[in-house]
Structure formats: structure tokens, C-alpha cells
Amino acid sequence: MIHLQQVSFGYDGREILSAVEAEIAAGSFHFLTGPSGAGKTTLLKLLYLEALPQGGKLSLFGEDPVTAGSDARMQLRRRIGIVFQDFRLLDHLSVAENVTLPLIVHGRDPAKNAGDVADLIRWVGLSHRADAPPRALSAGEKQRAAIARAVITSPDLIIADEPTGNVDAEMGMRILRLLVELNRLGKTVLIATHDLGLIRSARSMVTARILRLADGRLTAGGAEL
Amino acid sequence: MSEGTPQPVASTPQPLPQRLRLVPGGGWGAALATLAAAGMAFLAMLSLVAGLAAADLAATWQRDLQGSATVRLSAPDATSLDRVMDVLRRTDGVAAARALAAEDQAALLAPWLGEGAALSDLPIPQLIDVTLAGAGPDVDRLAAALEAASPGTVYDDHGAWRGPLLEAAAAIRNLAVAAVALIAGAAAGITALAARASLAGNAEIVRVVRLIGGRDSFIVRAFVRPLVWRTGLGAGAGAILGAVVLAALPKAGAALGLTIAPGLGSLFSFAAAVAGAGAIIGWAAAQLAVRAALRELP
């Protein structure tokens, strides 16, 4: 599903990622870990196509996003659900509207998917908050709303950037369980985290692999937990 | 999720919007765009009607002056007026000729000489008002015939002062067109600024929509639609206000003997056209501005 060959990327002449090699198979569950500043977020940006590699080759769903046109890149993005550490929910929309947004953006009829939206909001435990604006939610509720938004269009790949970074341990476990459940449904899941407790907790739930970044280089390229 | 959920739950569909208000409305920027559109439409109405009035005035002058001429006998005697009138009656292109009576000429001179001036003591030329037919007479041949009938007789086709008057009217009309063009340009600029401000203030929305697979065309529509609505609304209000003000002007114009504004029906047709043009200009300017700004965003 994802192949990285000698991928490199930098800002302002400073190399953030250097000769990254990795392979993520469809249906797998990966943790991307490493200290702060190791390049985790940059690597994720390359994977969800907010940035493009400056060197090496990235293959996503069998396509090279660097040579693909903007329309093809947009189609690739539609196969990826992203959960951000800072949620990135739109404050002027309710939870239900935020979850519905990807359907509208993808040109799908929200009315025909109203049942899915309601089920999904219930699944993440936010039925009672469906009409609330994000500012009225706790951090854990916001993250669960963000997960619902990320998966409403049933993407093939779910990328979560520090999804438990702003929540307590109990809520972190709840969010991890949601992501594990999505993996059991066949979704490929990649979680960037420096929370080793979270990674240890995942051992009993799922067969996960580790990608470890240090100073812009992968020091563990997919070892099992 | 479309493919199911981990835990079977009873589905309780809730009403969902068909179209989200992706861009938050309101704020001073939105109010300013609406107000600016209203002001521009109001000024456009005034300029448009001023231009049309000038064009109408020019056409009237042209029509009236082209259809008439004046013959002036410098030193008329007992028979010269009859000879000149006879020439005029026999000339093709002259529909009628009327020698002004002494009291008519006195009325013309009254502003300069005062009422009741003893004109009989003054060498006043005799004026003949000539009404032309069709393309008018052969001026050179008529001038020669008049000279032969009474030496010193002048045929004046009003060209000497018709030209400057028409040029003045044309200048007013051109100024009005330039004013409308400037107003349209200013309206486009204000809308473009409002569009850029809206995009800059909502850059996070753009980023999120792009990351969930939204095309830029979707983003453009989402940002342009409310702007077009606001500029259309403002332009409509401004144009209607302009129409109302202009509808009140004929009373003032009538006192000056001028037709300042067209009929009420025409005024509101102009208002509809100005409002529509405002919306189109707003749409075009916002489209260009949003597309350009999106290219600049990372």
C-alpha cells in the first residue's frame, strides 16, 4: 500500500527526513514513533500528501504522487482519513456537520448517508453531543469527533498524528480501541506517537509494527511489537 | 462509516444539511462588502442616468438644430425681404420660412436692450426662421441666391454653435461612461479584497477541506457564493435607492426645463440591470481573487 524508497525532505536547506525506507502493507497496524523533532509529523505530511518528497520515491496505493496530477493527488487523499493531534474541527459547524463535511466535499449525498453519520457518532460515543459545536467539547470528545470525521467516507488508510496527545490515559485507551477496531474492519492504520505506554497497551489488542524515527532516519523499519 | 460499524446499533438517522455553510458569515468584512456594493450601485445609477440624460439632450439638440436654419438680412429695405422670402419658397429642402415679427425680435433682444426699447431707431437685421425638409437645401447654391436677392444676406445653419454644444453633451456622456467603468472597477476591487480577506481569515478551513480531498473548485464555490449573495444584495439595495432618488428629480428638472430622469419603469429596469451587473462583477472578481489566493496558499 505504501512504499518509501530513499525518501528525503527538508525545509530551508535543513534536511528533516533522510533516505527513509519503509513499507506498510494493506490492513496492517503501525506505530510511528521517535522523539520530538525526529520528523514524525513531516513523514505523515508526506503520506497524507500535504507535502511531497524532495528526493527518493513514494508510492501510495500503487501511484507516485509526485508525478501524479493534482486531480489524481486529490483522489489519493480521498482514500486517506486523517486524525490530527489538534483535531482541526471547524468551530462554526456542529459535531454532526463536521462528520458530514467529507461526504459533501466528496460529492456524496448527506441525506443518503444520514444513518451512517448517526451510527458513527454513536460508535464514538458522541450521540448526545451531535449538535454541539466543537468548542463545547472536551479534548477527548473532540478527538473522537475527529476520528468519526476521518472515517466517515470509509478510507483505506487512517493516519493519526499523536491522537492521544491531548487526552488523559483513560481516553487515550478508548481512542486506541477505536483505531484497533477500525483496523479489524480492514483499514490500514498508522499512528504517530511518542507515548510508549500507548504502544505497550496495543500489544494485547492488535498485531502492530513499529517504525522508529531518529534524526530524520528510520532506525526501525517495521519490526513487530 | 459506509462499510458498517464494530458494534451493531440501531440506526437513528438525523436530519443533515445538504449544503453546509462552510465559510462562517458575518463580521465587519461582510458588512463592508455589502455597504460598498450598495454605495457603488447608487453612484452607478446616478452616473448611468446622467449619461443617458446627456445623450438624450444631445440627440434633441441635434434633431432640433439640424431641422432649422436662420437667414439674416443685415439692412432690409422694402423689397429685399420679399425677394429673399421668394428665394426661400422656391428652394428645395426648405419646408417653411417665417420672417420674425418686430415684437418677436424685440423679445429676443430684450435681455440685452431691456423691455420696450425703441428698436425702430436701431439698424436691426431682419431674421427669418427657416424650417428645413429632408437633408435640407444645397447651402452654397442657396447662399448665392440669397446674396443675389439681397446683398449681405447670411444663411446660418447653426453649425457654429451646434458643434460645441454637441461636443459638450458628448463629453458629459463620455464622463458618465468613464464614471460607470470606474465604479465597476472599484466594486470589483473591493469584492476581490473582501474575498482575499475571507480566505485569509479562514485558511484553516481551506487546509482541512484540501486534506479531506476537496477540490479547489469546491473551495472557490464555497467562498464565492456568500460574497456574490452579499454584493448582489448590496447592489440591489443601492440601485433601488438610486432609482427612488432619481424618480424625485424630474420635479426639480422640470423647473429648469430639463428631462433629468427617465420614467419610473425605466428607472427600476436600470436598477435591476445595475444590481445584476453588481452581482456579476462580484462573482467574477471573487472567482479571480479566490483562485489566485488559493494558488498562493501552501
Q: For B159-182, how does the pLDDT look when each residue is reduced to its tens digit (9 = 90+)?
A: 777 778 778 878 888 888 899 999
Residue of A nearest to B21 (CA): A93
CB contact under 8 A, B6 and A181: yes
Share the mean pLDDT of chain B. Answer: 82
CB contact under 8 A, B2 and A154: yes
How much is the average pLDDT of A72-90? 92
Which of these, A126, A125, A129, A182, lies nearest to A153 by C-alpha position? Answer: A182
Contact A150, A131 (CB under 8 A): no
Q: Provide the pLDDT for residue A220.
A: 64
Residue B71: strand pairing partners: B128, B155
Of these ranges, A195-199, A212-216, B203-207, the one predicted with the greatest mean pLDDT is B203-207
Distance from CA of B5 to the nearest CA of A (A): 7
Contact B106, B124 (CB under 8 A): no
Taking the Cβ of residue B213 and every Cβ of chain A, the question of whether any pair is shorter than 8 Å is answered with yes
Higher pLDDT, B239 or A171: B239
Q: In this model, does residue A9 exceed pLDDT 90?
A: yes
Q: Provide the pLDDT for residue A42.
A: 92
Which of these, B6, B49, B40, lies nearest to B177 by C-alpha position? Answer: B49
pTM of the model: 0.73
Contact B49, B112 (CB under 8 A): no
Contact B211, B239 (CB under 8 A): no
pLDDT band at A89 (very low <50, low <70, confident <90, very high): very high
* pLDDT tens string B182-209: 999 999 998 898 888 888 888 889 999 9
Q: In this model, does residue B1 exceed pLDDT 60?
A: no
Best residue in B9, B19, B212 for a mutation probing chain A (most A CBs within 10 Å): B212
Distance from CA of B192 to the nearest CA of A (A): 24
Cβ–Cβ pairs < 8 A, chains A and B: 107
Higher pLDDT, A63 or B162: A63
Q: Provide the pLDDT for residue B289.
A: 93
**CA atoms of B275 and B48, how far apart (whole Å):** 13
pLDDT band at B234 (very low <50, low <70, confident <90, very high): very high
Percent of chain A's residues with pLDDT above 90: 54
Report chain B residues whose CB lies below 8 A from the CB of A149. Answer: 212
Contact A28, A180 (CB under 8 A): no
A interface with B, Cβ–Cβ below 8 Å: 48, 50, 71, 74-75, 77-78, 82, 88, 90, 92-93, 96-97, 100-102, 104-106, 109-111, 113-120, 122-123, 130, 149, 151-154, 181-182, 184-186
How much is the average pLDDT of B23-43? 84
* pLDDT tens string B265-282: 777 888 899 999 999 999
Share the mean pLDDT of chain A. Answer: 89
Q: Provide the pLDDT for residue B27.
A: 67
Q: In this model, does residue A37 exceed pLDDT 80?
A: yes
Which ranges of chain A would DSSP assign to H, the alpha helix? 40-47, 70-77, 95-105, 114-123, 139-151, 169-184, 196-202
Q: In this model, does residue B4 exceed pLDDT 50?
A: no
Collect all residues with Cβ–Cβ distance below 8 Å to A141 and sequence separation of at least 6: A126, A129
CB contact under 8 A, A114 and B14: yes
Residue B97: strand pairing partners: B130
Q: Provide the pLDDT for residue B98.
A: 92
Residue of A nearest to B208 (CA): A88
Report chain B residues whose CB lies below 8 A from the CB of A100. Answer: 16-17, 20
Report chain A residues whose CB lies below 8 A from the CB of B12. Answer: 115, 118, 122
Q: In this model, does residue B235 exceed pLDDT 80?
A: yes
Report chain A residues whose CB lies below 8 A from the CB of B209. Answer: 101, 105
How much is the average pLDDT of A148-163? 92
Q: In this model, does residue B297 exceed pLDDT 90?
A: no
Q: In this model, does residue B124 exceed pLDDT 50?
A: yes
Which of these, A219, A147, A163, lies nearest to A195 by C-alpha position? Answer: A163
Distance from CA of B280 to the nearest CA of A (A): 26
pLDDT band at A219 (very low <50, low <70, confident <90, very high): confident
**CA atoms of A187 and B237, how far apart (whole Å):** 54
CB contact under 8 A, B20 and A101: yes
**CA atoms of B59 and B236, how far apart (whole Å):** 30
Residue A80: strand pairing partners: A157
Query: Please, what is the Cα angle at B172 between B170 and B175, to 5 degrees?
Result: 105
Q: Which of A47-51, B109-113, B181-185 has the lowest mean pLDDT?
A: B109-113
Collect all residues with Cβ–Cβ distance below 8 Å to A93 and sequence separation of at least 6: A101, A133, A134, B20, B21
How much is the average pLDDT of A118-136? 91
Taking the Cβ of residue B212 and every Cβ of chain A, the question of whether any pair is shorter than 8 Å is answered with yes
- Give how far Cα A49 sits from Cα of A77, A107, A213, B202, Å: 7, 20, 19, 21
Q: Which ipTM value was assigned to this complex?
A: 0.87
Higher pLDDT, A108 or A216: A108
Q: Provide the pLDDT for residue B6.
A: 41
Collect all residues with Cβ–Cβ distance below 8 Å to A6 and sequence separation of at least 6: A19, A20, A21, A55, A56, A57
CB contact under 8 A, A97 and B16: yes
Report chain A residues whose CB lies below 8 A from the CB of B210. Answer: 77
